[in-house]
Structure 1
């Protein structure tokens, strides 16, 4: 069949005629799955792994890092802290969401085939096992290892006399004035227990009447979780408080003291259509978040049944939602221990370097990002490439440059003392047009983003909050500059947030380019987000919720077409999570045709690799290390003319249906080659990685190459 070239199909092989004029040519019709292929897929009713249970397996891999004796000790300690905070968020959001759907009568079967009640039961079984393993490993392995390294985490009974005197003074001078014991009796109702706070359940007795009373003492979060005694010795704050409770209850006998912790539903729900002012509606919802229903009660394993029954009764917690673990509770505080100045127990120091394309124009004056971008595209790889001398410098230079007319930027999360915010403020105060599209619904960063929004508004920036019903998650910045040749757009599109702090620990990609087609697309998208423009499609971008899923599925289908025609075909994807069933089914169809598929997934993966007849040509890997693998990359062999996309979208329903996400097609051969080298190293059999099995379990291979350490060494040599 002879057809004209279709500009929207990445599979088309363009054959130029003489004189440079394109002519029609013979191509295969695009692949469309037929009824037989779809019926074959449907036979595999259990082809999707459960997303919640897959997430728990991700956190188990994180715990595996803590248990890995080849890693520096304080990095293992930090992994324990991350495990704890990750599990907190899982309960606050995912478990709370399951319970809410069940209570609302929306208990529909998940793609994995499991009902919410089945998932909850599996969650409780696995999380209880994981929390026990986490707490026991800390007590039995990490504490002795720290002690051998000269860092002692001790309990009160281990303190010598001088340390006890020091702790007593610390309690008297600093802690005691802050504490507020709350009694429980007919005149004093059971107090509200805030989510994730550490509390002490105290049972006291009146020696005159013999009557017992219950009281709650909150461990103040204003102090460090572990009290420093000197000489790198630390004792839990609750131990210090518990030893001096008689000062809080003079004249009473202290019978029992037990620590406990409540996790609450803290996922926000804002009806945007009904909110006249989204900012005010969100502020009210943030206040209500503190009073969400409890979803988990953590107690020390030594708690008595008497006190536990009182807690469960007053909190409305079922026995299944109680987790008993060895103390101390709340090991998020181990971040303070991991931050100790013991460089001998951490990864070797690594200082990001300036990207090579930017150093070409470096001189005594600061780097000129504009000049570098005019010469060639700059594909940044953080944290190996410095964020400060690239993206941050790009925006600071734009704010100070008198030739810059406008800056437009999306902000999802940023740091507390953000130079990005300061640059936008400076730009607005100097008279430039500044548009800041702030996502104030970024989970657990809502309060900070509200502050940034107000600060920018006061400086004269145009602040908008995106579109109703959608979170704006894309990472875009555009600078409009007046130059002798005319107006030029400089665009940055990234996979990570404009956050200088996380840019030092998150692995991300970002493109700085003057490509006119990309600049035109980004300008149209900003107009769409800030006004009433409704451009349905873009030339160099895929934009969710309209075209990311369909665009990726179409390109997966095109790889099938290439494979059938004997041309090079292959698919590689790197993401934080892969859950979307439509995309997974497209990958299954490609695998059934024999197309090689390689997936690098840090977190959740609902795809089952290696299933006979379904996914034998699919390999799934996960890499964890000193940096958090965060970039999203979508690679297609495309018949021998490789195509690579980067952007903000993971393959999850929320990203593809309920967020504004952007993928950009890398425009230059150098950038595509750079991504290819990264993927080649990640999928090298000698690279250390976790491998996913068809049953959903993960196994660590014995690869000798560490991806991140190898990239660090490459950048050191370049420096």
Structure 2
């Protein structure tokens, strides 16, 4: 196994990924409102980073303080390191927002007005807005013996107010808390006539700062300071919380309420908040100085994500992607007739996700279809796919849906769909306790000429129509006998009991996928040692699993040429003398989120290619149910290699190269070199 010096800290790698995302906000070639959106994406990513990764480190530090991670650090040492890195990233984020993005937006006529810049007319409108829309909803809590510190929701916007004087009951309270209800917009757009015809916005925090005195009649407001608390939001269900007769959905529903009130892990305050106030808040939430983050601006930039949609300035946004509808399915009455003849590969979002929806919808209405089986990990609030499953169940078809109730931050939505599907008569199961069902697969069983014929869809991405427009993913529609039988066997494993089935084509976690990857790597090592060309290319979101990293190091030492396209976390150290000279790692960060997982092994010229739902992480290999699907049709295999791997390795516009110390360098086209952008090339190829 790799030593600690050979494994890069996964939390540091995740923060490095967010630095690459933030770089998009500085890129003058990115439309200006999209640059603002990238600033917000970093905040959203950091929220999850603190809710999950930092929360995990804090739990480990509390429960297992002597634990040593693969990186060689204890939980406390890791927290100290990544907190400093996160603080530096956040400072850079606000500098880009305040010194570049907001001034450039102002130059184009999009203004964010600070209180000291409001005109008398704006003052009047904003005060009326406060009186009408905010004042009735605000409930100040004065802190005294009969008013304890309120229980604050995770990531809610709050204000601590210093007061002087007595209230109507003669009480003297020097401090109060004002919570901003989540229903309130964090950015308010002003009427154009108050902004000289331009687009003008004010922050909710500015409005509350200006008029908070109205909540404390007869008392003097000495100061008002915004703050935001981030809590541990990882949802866990222990064995002792239920028995074999307990419905997991019921347990999850009861746990969801507590998520908003988990252990505090981060306190955000404005940088002008006095030390005595921050110390008071830190003490209330049992936090340390190391968990305090001062910011130069609003404490929640995620809510600025709404601004681009509030501005009609198409020249400041990315052009909309006009998804290509696959030629195979144009002007045909039945998708199944096409799939019966040949496999069809879909590459989203360049190609529309609609055929996947149509695949299930057609099955729901086809009188000869007797059964539909499908996994749901993330599917969206308004899902045509889920609606089609409801219709099929109500029509009396055998509908089996594996709903992953532990899909992080989608639990409530999945609980809702599980309940509706159960009520419609579908067989709903929640996977296998202890293993998340992350595989993306659907199966349609149709009676044809006296026998049952099966059709399957296997993909790298979720059955979510929203993300299918911004995530890059592959999906395979097939009627291959061996693959469809494998899919059916997998569904029977998940829904029933018994030993794992021996699969002919597919590889699955937690049983065969990890072993397959190690075997394929070892085979490339053998080819290299025999003096034959040997090559591995893998594209994924994250690479942190130590035994796979060790195998790649061994392959590099044997002379195997290895190219890794890892969007996010990468714990492997590339290009290190004596360790990984033959390994290159790059990351593509663009307008679309690179999400597909593709594995390529040269295999002495036979070129084996798999698409998969699994990243190379411990959880995907050992604690999730995942699937890797071979692409064997020569034309489709060529497409995957060219569109996913070769273009990514040729990209000199949105690609970053990783170095052995964990840092990244943006790749630029050399003088005279052809400019290649993976995403732009595919948008052009598919006439999007």
Same fold, TM-score > 0.5, yes or no: yes
Moved more, 238-247 or 651-660: 238-247
Q: Deviations over 1:631-651 (max 9, x none)?
A: 000001111111101110001
In structure 2, distance between residues paired with 1:537 and 1:108: 37
CA-CA distance at 1:664 after TM superposition: 0.8
Give 1:694 deviation, angstroms.
0.6
Residue 175 (structure 1) aligns with: 134
Equivalent residue number for residue 214 of structure 2: 247
Where do 4+ consecutive residues of structure 1 move more than 4 Å? 207-212
Structure 2 unmatched runs, 5+: 193-198, 670-674
Asked if 1:537 is matched to 2:498, the reply is no
| Residue 558 (structure 2) aligns with | 593
Secondary structure in 2 matching 1:379: strand
Contact 2:493 2:501 in 1 (8 A): no
C-alpha distance in 2, partners of 1:104/1:329?
Answer: 30
Distance 1:57 1:274 in 2: 38
Deviation of 1:123 (Å): 1.1
- The answer to whether the 8 Å contact 2:363/2:444 transfers is yes
Give, in angstroms, the shift of residue 207 of structure 1.
6.3
- Matched position secondary structure for 2:174: strand
Cα deviation, 1:60-110, whole Å, max 9, x if unaligned, reads 111111111111111111111110011011111111111111111254111
Q: Displacement, 1:687? A: 5.4
Which of 346, 352, 357 is the equivalent residue of 2:317? 346
- Do 2:241 and 2:251's aligned partners in 1 also have CA atoms closer than 8 Å? no
| Mapping of residues 122-521 of structure 1, within 5 Å | 122-206=81-165, 213-231=174-192, 232-272=199-239, 274-275=241-242, 276-339=246-309, 340-359=311-330, 362-363=331-332, 368-388=334-354, 390-484=355-449, 486-521=451-486
Query: How far did 1:667 drift?
Result: 2.6
Q: For this pair of structures, how many residues does the alignment match?
A: 670
Q: After the TM superposition, which residues 620-659 of structure 1 pair with which residues of structure 2 at under 5 Å, given as runs?
A: 620-659=585-624
Checking the alignment, whether the CA contact within 8 Å between 1:263 and 1:295 is kept in structure 2 is yes
Are the structure 2 counterparts of residues 140 and 688 from structure 1 closer, same or farther at C-alpha, using a change threshold of 3 Å? closer
Using the TM superposition, give the Cα deviation of residue 189 of structure 1 relative to its aligned residue in structure 2, in angstroms.
Answer: 1.1
Measure the CA separation in 2 of the matches of 1:649 and 1:352. Answer: 25
Normalised by the size of structure 2, how large is the TM-score?
0.95
Residue segments in structure 1 that go unaligned for 5+ positions in a row: 1-40
Distance 1:666 1:252 in 2: 72
Measured on the aligned residues, the alpha-carbon RMSD in Å equals 1.6
What's the secondary structure of 2:151's corresponding residue? coil
SS at match of 1:177: helix
Question: Aligned partners of 2:208, 2:654: CA distance in 1, in Å?
Answer: 45
Distance 2:363 2:635 in 1: 26
Write the deviation string for residues 278-329 of structure 1: whole angstroms up to 9, x where unpaired. 1111112112222211111000011112222221122211111111111121
Structure 2: distance between partners of 1:519 and 1:437: 17
SS at match of 2:662: coil
Aligned equivalent of 2:664: 698
User: In the aligned structure 2, how far is the partner of 1:107 from the partner of 1:91?
Assistant: 21
Change (3 A) 1:710 1:176: same
Q: Distance in 2 between matches of 1:688 and 1:418?
A: 32
Q: Secondary structure at the match of 1:46?
A: helix
Select the residue among 51, 70, 75 that pairs with 2:34.
75
Q: SS where residue 137 of structure 2 aligns?
A: coil
TM score, norm. by length of structure 1 = 0.91
Residue pair 2:459, 2:473 contacting (<8 A) in 1 also: yes
Are the structure 2 counterparts of residues 453 and 107 from structure 1 closer, same or farther at C-alpha, using a change threshold of 3 Å?
A: farther
- State the match for 2:11 in structure 1: 52
CA distance 1:203–1:686, shift in 2 (3 Å): closer
3-state SS of paired residue (1:280): helix
Q: Distance in 2 between matches of 1:256 and 1:402?
A: 69
Kept in 1, the 8 Å contact 2:460–2:475? The answer is yes
Residue 358 of structure 1 and its aligned partner are, at CA, apart by 2.1
The 8 Å contact of residues 207 and 253 in structure 1, kept in 2 or not, is answered as no
Whether the aligned pair in 1 keeps the contact of 2:143 and 2:173 (CA below 8 Å) is no
For residues 454-499 of structure 1, give each alpha carbon's deviation from its aligned partner in whole angstroms, at most 9, with x where no partner exists: 0000001000001111110100000001122732111000000000
For the Cα contact (< 8 Å) 1:470–1:658, is it kept in 2?
yes
Note the C-alpha offset of 1:198: 0.7
Secondary structure (helix, strand or coil) at the match of 1:215 reads strand
**TM-superposition CA deviations, 1:425-471 (whole Å, max 9, x none):** 00011111000000011111111110000000000100000111111
Q: 1:236-270, CA deviations, whole angstroms, 9 ceiling, x for partnerless residues?
A: 01211221122211010111010001111111120
Find the counterpart in structure 1 of residue 491 from structure 2: 526
Closer/same/farther in 2, CA of residues 314 and 687 from structure 1, 3 Å limit: closer
Range with bigger deviation, 413-422 or 675-684:
675-684
